[in-house]
Amino acid sequence: RHHEGEIDREAILAYGMSLPPLLLVAAFFVLPLAGFPVSVLLVVIGLRFGIVWGMVIVAVGMFFHLLVVHGIARSGMREKMLRRIAAFGYEIPAIKESHRLWFTTLFASIHGPPYAAKLYLLALTNLPFRYHCGIALPVYIGFSLLPVSAGKAVLNLHPVAVSAIVLAALALLLLGR
């Protein structure tokens, strides 16, 4: 028996499947840029579109995020954002050319900081855009596979798939530590 307002598997599935596809895609393109947790959207995208189409949407959306954030970080907003960061006693360090590859890989791989914060902070460094696309984008996409797969697994509720996703997530967290 279901209670009104109760959150359970069926309620989550019904809500996720009831979202209009275009609205969900638009939300994924816009909301993470404003700080909305990307992980929630990734799970719902997996639920709604499956793994293959979900990952296509994620890849295109994350490329869009990088383009927009890079544009903002190179616009007149740059000085305003740097002043705001300085007001908290921080500054964005310059990254030596010889350290760009490993730094970008490490920074994009670290779990903990919100996705939007990582996008904006990396864009405010002196890294060329090719590092974002060539290094950070594949890392972000790779880490998105688990939540998108989790959304699809919840729909089908294959215990083996859910267990594999949980184990893979734990392994990534341990590796990240």
- pLDDT tens profile 81-103: 889 889 999 888 888 989 999 99
Amino acid 1: pLDDT = 46
Residue 111's Cβ-side half-sphere holds a number of Cα atoms within 13 Å equal to: 13
59-74 confidence digits (pLDDT tens) = 999 999 999 999 998 8
**Mean pLDDT across the chain, nearest whole number?**
84
Amino acid 132: pLDDT = 85
Q: Which residues of the chain have pLDDT under 70?
A: 1-13, 15-16, 154-166, 169-170, 172-177
